[in-house]
Amino acid sequence: MPKKNLSLRNFASIESRITDYSSWTKDDLIKKIIALEQEILFKKKKNTYTEQYIFEDLNFSDKSSSSIKKPFLMSNYNQRYIAFKFAYLGWYYNGLVTQGNKTQLPTVEETIFFALKKAKLIDHERNCNFSRCGRTDKGVTAIGQVMALNVRSNKPFNENSEEKWSEIKYIDILNKLLPKTIRILAWCSDLPSDFSARFSCQKRHYKYLFFKDSPNVQLNIEKMSKAASYFIGKHDFRNFCKLDTSKQITNFTRIITRSEINKYNTAEENDSLYVFDLEGTAFLWHQVRSMIAVLFLVGQDLEKPEIIKTLLDTSKTSQKPIYNIAHDLPLILYDCHFQNLNWNYGEETFSQSLYKNIYDLWHTAKIQNTIIDLLLKNIQNNKIPNNIITKKVIIKDGTGVNQSLTKYVQIENRKKENNYKNAKNK
């Protein structure tokens, strides 16, 4: 269709509709500008809220009324304080907690908050009374992480109302919005008014996976188990953590209720996969990775099991010796224990969907693992000369490559960190 040419008559018609502002006062002009700006904002809002939302559960629009949706106001809806149990694969994220600065990878919380706001379950993370159980660093996975917050609810404002209602399907809605690497597992609504995902947690359970045998390194599990047992009880762990200067922590005393090395049961009989099981009331920053790092040194006969006692005795070791912590990838926040929480795991259809999603991730990883295993077996015939292997000291660090040193220095003889001078025993 050819474009229509604007004739002089058209221009004259347009010009006749333009208001002559030359005689207007300053106040009248300002009022006119404000009115025009408000009109523009209204049109933008009108365009924004005409978008259809994908979930019927949300019930934001009245199909019998105008197609233009009203702005969403949380005050128009009831809210309830609930807890979510969720899991995530740490290697896809830059840790759990939302950072103030931009990071190469997203954080778990910013991804979850995006989904919560997309589903109109919250309006902003600052307004939802949010708390988390355990903070995990970049690369660390969680299977039983917990958070608590206020979310939108279908519950009537009048508790005595006889009106029938059904609650929002929180798990289903959020898992449709979240990537497969983050899954909401369950939710709980019967929370005390003073419940905190952080302070109400009675026990946290961590697991650290490692192989007993790897190239150039064979671990003594018996000695590691003996050393691990020394962690049990109430101790000062200032020599097994990294100081968080932003929190100004002065109390490094923590209670460990379980600390043991176990064989990880797999289908492969010759698999040398083990797990460091650790349970306690609370943990310091990098505490678990520091503990397993020293246990690796014991397992390699580079340190005696009693080095644990020495580092826990702050009268003998008042400042932390410098040593590298273990890698983040094998660390898992396995579970968070709370008293009298009844978790709702959703309907059977949700369980099937969750299993399919997790199985898909497992299947992909298993195929990738098998391919790499075939490659490894293919090159095993290329023997490495022993004189190359024994040139350096190999230090187990939780990775497949490990660290290599020309000379090993005992922990007690190493330089000390200066970060703990102001620490106090409480």
List active site positions: 137
Positive or negative CA dihedral for 303, 207, 178, 366?
A: positive
Q: How far is CA 266 from CA 121, 263, 273, 355, in A?
A: 40, 9, 8, 20
State how far the Cα of 203 lies from the Cα of 257, in Å rounded to an integer.
Answer: 9
State how far the Cα of 141 lies from the Cα of 184, in Å rounded to an integer.
Answer: 14
Name the DSSP letter for residue 60.
-
Rounded to the nearest 10 degrees, what angle do helices 108-118 and 170-177 cross at?
120
Number of Cβ within a 10 Å radius of residue 90: 22
State how far the Cα of 363 lies from the Cα of 374, in Å rounded to an integer.
Answer: 17
Neighbouring residues of 230: CB distance < 8 A, sequence distance ≥ 6: 305, 306, 308, 309, 312
| CB-based contact 226:261 (threshold 8 Å) | no
State how far the Cα of 115 lies from the Cα of 175, in Å rounded to an integer.
Answer: 9
Q: Cα dihedral angle (106, 110, 111, 115), rounded to 10 degrees?
A: -160
- In the block, which residue shows the tokens 């600065």? 101
Host H or E run for residue 150: strand 141-153
Quick one: tokens of 337? 């224990």
Q: What is the 3-state secondary structure (H, E, C) of 401-419?
A: CCEEECCCCCHHHCCECCC
State how far the Cα of 46 lies from the Cα of 67, in Å rounded to an integer.
Answer: 10
Neighbouring residues of 263: CB distance < 8 A, sequence distance ≥ 6: 273, 274, 275
Host H or E run for residue 228: helix 221-229
